[in-house]
Copies of this chain bind each other. A is one copy, B any other.
């Protein structure tokens, strides 16, 4: 098995695992925050604006860690420098 094949295989596995593992914590963190936002809404319905605004700004920050993983996963599939190097050499 040559470098080209192994690099491809490893990229597939890593891309999949990165987004799979990387989506665990944001989903739980967002669920937790959302759950408390709903409790806060039930406690202070008059402040719904402030609460939902803070909630969505915070959720965006949490979502950002999932997006880091998605970015790395997409780079590994479609813009992988190691793969490109080996394809270029194999074709040379």
Say whether chain A's binding surface is mostly helix, strand, loop, or mixed.
helix
Chain B neighbourhood of A58, CB < 8 A? 30, 34, 37, 55, 59
Q: For chain A, give the interface size range.
A: 35 or more
Q: Is the CB of B12 within 8 A of A69?
A: no
Complex interface residues of chain A between 19 and 73 (CB less than 8 A to chain B): 19-48, 50-52, 54-59, 61-66, 68-70, 72-73
Report the minimum CB–CB distance from A53 to chain B (whole Å).
9
On whether A62 and B34 interact (CB within 8 A), knowing A7-B5, A18-B16, the answer reads yes
| Residues of chain A whose beta carbon lies under 8 Å from any beta carbon of chain B | 1-48, 50-52, 54-59, 61-66, 68-70, 72-73, 75-78, 80-83, 85-87
